[in-house]
Structure 1
Amino acid sequence: MKILVIHTAFIGDIVLSTPLLKRIKEVYPEAKITYVTTPIGATILRNNPNVTEIIEYDKRGSHSGVKGLLALGRRLRYENFNMVLTPHRYLRSSILAWLTRSPKRVGYDIASGSCLFTDKISYDKSKHEVDKLLSFIGEVPSNSREKYPIELYPNKKDIDAVDKIWNENNFNNQEIIAVAPGSKWFTKKWPLEYFNEVIDLLVENGKKVIVIGGKDELYLNVNIQQGVLDLRGKTTLLELAEVLKRVKVVLTNDSSPIHIASAFKKTSILAIFGPTVKEFGFFPWSKNSEVLEIENLSCRPCAIHGGDKCPKGHFKCMLDIKPKQVYEKILQILKRV
């Protein structure tokens, strides 16, 4: 049995697909699973024992345009896959699935190019994204959150790199809070001055803070001070996963750190949701998590990904979540763990 998964969305989406890989192996234990994803998606999937091969689809580089799509399609066709699963709902992925000529091509009924699938899965907006993905392989069990956790696999090199960070900063046996102030979408970002105020309060209270993010977050004017370690742009994704495994609390916007941290049972997650809502299905899969949001705000949600500015001009969904409230919530969490 040869199974292909095509998913070329954001990092968080790829992380959320790891329970599906476990489910495939459970139902088809002898299957060889190939996963087509973006180069950055490939980095978070490395070392996953459920994946036989990862193929990088560089949509903006070597596989850009129609020529690149067709070239990758030809390569995949030669593999003679028995089944292709396409969680990504965009036309390019649907075409790529069709180019494989697999006899069974499964995708969402609302996907662009869904007519190219042989089997369509209902996209149930009421379900968590993980449960949506699990529906690609039959009925989803009621205990899916316990049975199909998010799984990430830092290797020895990743662990050694984080060991070095911990030793150099005397982090062993410390209560460490990771702060992730970034997001690709402006309105999904809790105000930076609010993050800085929380960082100041944590440092004053003797807590250690690690600021995380990619190179895109380096432009954010975070208040780096004594007691704050800046790891933005300095770790691989699996090194970041190992960092989040070791901290007590992750404070984050509605962004990929939610899903990376959800892989670790001992890490508590405090997620701030503004323009988006839990009902979109992208809330933390971990039970050890909380979402802070302004409920009963008539303009929420405004868009599934947020936007470049508040459509109403007041940005209450974020501005009304105050730093002191977030700080006190973190202290409450620390008392429980």
Structure 2
Amino acid sequence: MTKTISDLSPKKILIRSTNWIGDAIMTTPAVRTIRENFPAAEITILAYPWVADIFKGCPHVDRVMLYEKKGRHKGLAGMWRLGRELAAQRFDMAILLQNAFSAALLALLAGIPVRAGYRRDGRGLLLTHGVSIRKSTRERHQVYYYQEMLKDLGLMCGPQELFLALPDAANNWARDFLAAKAKRVVVGLNPGAAYGPAKRWPAERYAGLAKRLAEELGATLLVFGTEADGEAAAEISAAAPGQVHDLTGKTSLAQAMALIGLCDAFVTNDSGLMHVAAAQKTPLVAIFGSTDAVATGPFAPKVEVVNKHLPCSPCMKTHCPQNDFACMLEIGVDEVYAATYKLLVSED
């Protein structure tokens, strides 16, 4: 069997989403490509609950199906249960944007006859249509990683542009929130980041930035993140009393994404919400240290990347091997303020 799927005419396609917010956002051009190549197919995307909101308003998919890995689909028994649920849907094709062996195994358990994706994680024999990663793809932005896979599977790729459509309820909520709370300039701050402290610019510097934005520009500051970022949010709030709204752990993902889309600027560490801002073309300042801005930086037009380019970075570690976090600590408040101000005053 050839690796090309372009000459097939599936009636029902299952897309296996990636597992994290940022990765899921970076797959949106690929999801659009799948829809454009199979316009008559019914497309379902299988996603973890914490990324499902990214696709609930997406016109390129017909349905979002939840993979409740921490609930009813937990463990091997849960995977078997999910496999049976998928089998009942009688999918013709599975396109696996997620790279794991388990994604291919699940498609096999579901009896999906066409299973396409990268030959990775030892799953090549489980795929009916597998492709290898090009060396050149490894050296480009991750958006191309997913699109190149589809190209090598024989599909015509659409625009290399992130896409995010949100439900009306979330957009309406965000507009009402800002109408009641915001004054003048609205700047979002995202002090958190998953995978350890090496990706996080210190909370006290976010606080210093908030103080300057509030005092010099009269800005309203919105602090985004999970409950785990509450301590950082409290420090930021204390620096600009009355002008900071702590939203950490207080919104749904859809509500947070809608608010980010309405910000005049967004200052963030390398994180999932950084990609949310990029997808909505919100002007953003992205602070990089331990990770690779070429591979996973914001894929958007109005971006200021602040990065010291130290010899030790990007180390891709969760904790600083030198234990001094120099790549973050050498970035001062003045530098980030200047980058933010530049975006706020620049004209399109």
The TM-score with structure 1 as length reference comes to: 0.90
1:70 positional shift: 0.9
Give runs of aligned pairs for residues 306-321 of structure 1, distance below 5 A.
306-307=317-318, 309-321=319-331
Q: Which among 187, 202, 211 is matched to residue 198 of structure 2?
A: 187
1:204-245 Cα distance to aligned partner (Å, 9 max, x none): 112221111122222324321221121222222221122111
Amino acid at match of 2:346: R
Q: Which among 260, 272, 276 is matched to residue 244 of structure 1?
A: 260
Amino acid at match of 1:202: L
Which residue number in structure 1 is paired with residue 276 of structure 2?
Answer: 260
Query: Is 2:224 the partner of 1:208?
Result: no
Query: Is 2:286 the partner of 1:271?
Result: yes
1:17 positional shift: 1.8
1:254 positional shift: 0.4
1:29 positional shift: 0.7
* Alignment gaps of 5+ in structure 2: 1-10
Q: What SS does the corresponding residue of 1:34 show, helix, strand or coil?
A: strand
* Alignment gaps of 5+ in structure 1: none
Which residue number in structure 2 is paired with residue 45 of structure 1?
Answer: 55
CA contact (8 A) 1:152 1:238 kept: no
CA distance in 2, matches of 1:315, 1:66: 40
CA contact (8 A) 1:188 1:275 kept: yes
CA contact (8 A) 1:8 1:36 kept: no
Q: What SS does the corresponding residue of 1:223 show, helix, strand or coil?
A: helix
CA distance in 2, matches of 1:202, 1:182: 19
CA distance in 1, matches of 2:235, 2:42: 45
Amino acid at match of 1:214: T
CA distance in 2, matches of 1:264, 1:219: 28
Q: Which among 264, 284, 293 is matched to residue 307 of structure 2?
A: 293
1:192 positional shift: 1.1
1:13-53 Cα distance to aligned partner (Å, 9 max, x none): 12222222211111111011111110111122112111112
Q: What SS does the corresponding residue of 1:111 show, helix, strand or coil?
A: coil
CA distance in 1, matches of 2:131, 2:187: 39
1:274 positional shift: 1.0
CA contact (8 A) 2:284 2:343 kept: no
Shift of the 66–43 alpha-carbon distance from structure 1 to 2, 3 Å rule, reads same
Q: Which among 13, 20, 23 is matched to residue 13 of structure 1?
A: 23
The TM-score with structure 2 as length reference comes to: 0.88
Which residue number in structure 2 is paired with residue 25 of structure 1?
Answer: 35
Which residue number in structure 2 is paired with residue 196 of structure 1?
Answer: 207
Which residue number in structure 2 is paired with residue 334 of structure 1?
Answer: 344
4+ runs deviating over 4 angstroms? none
Which residue number in structure 2 is paired with residue 3 of structure 1?
Answer: 13
1:328 positional shift: 1.1
Which residue number in structure 2 is paired with residue 106 of structure 1?
Answer: 116
CA contact (8 A) 1:94 1:112 kept: no
Which residue number in structure 1 is paired with residue 105 of structure 2?
Answer: 95
Give runs of aligned pairs for residues 108-187 of structure 1, distance below 5 A.
108-123=118-133, 124-138=137-151, 147-171=159-183, 174-185=184-195, 186-187=197-198
Q: What SS does the corresponding residue of 2:31 show, helix, strand or coil?
A: helix
CA distance in 2, matches of 1:262, 1:170: 22
CA contact (8 A) 1:19 1:134 kept: yes
Q: What SS does the corresponding residue of 2:64 show, helix, strand or coil?
A: strand
CA distance in 1, matches of 2:98, 2:182: 42
Number of equivalent positions: 327
Q: Which among 228, 233, 256 is matched to residue 249 of structure 2?
A: 233
Amino acid at match of 1:302: C
CA contact (8 A) 2:35 2:61 kept: no
Q: What SS does the corresponding residue of 2:51 show, helix, strand or coil?
A: helix
Amino acid at match of 1:285: F
1:160 positional shift: 2.2
1:119-151 Cα distance to aligned partner (Å, 9 max, x none): 2233331122221112232269xxx7x924322
CA distance in 1, matches of 2:152, 2:274: 26
Which residue number in structure 1 is paired with residue 298 of structure 2?
Answer: 284
CA contact (8 A) 1:121 1:135 kept: no
Amino acid at match of 2:269: N
CA distance in 1, matches of 2:12, 2:182: 47
Q: What SS does the corresponding residue of 2:58 show, helix, strand or coil?
A: coil
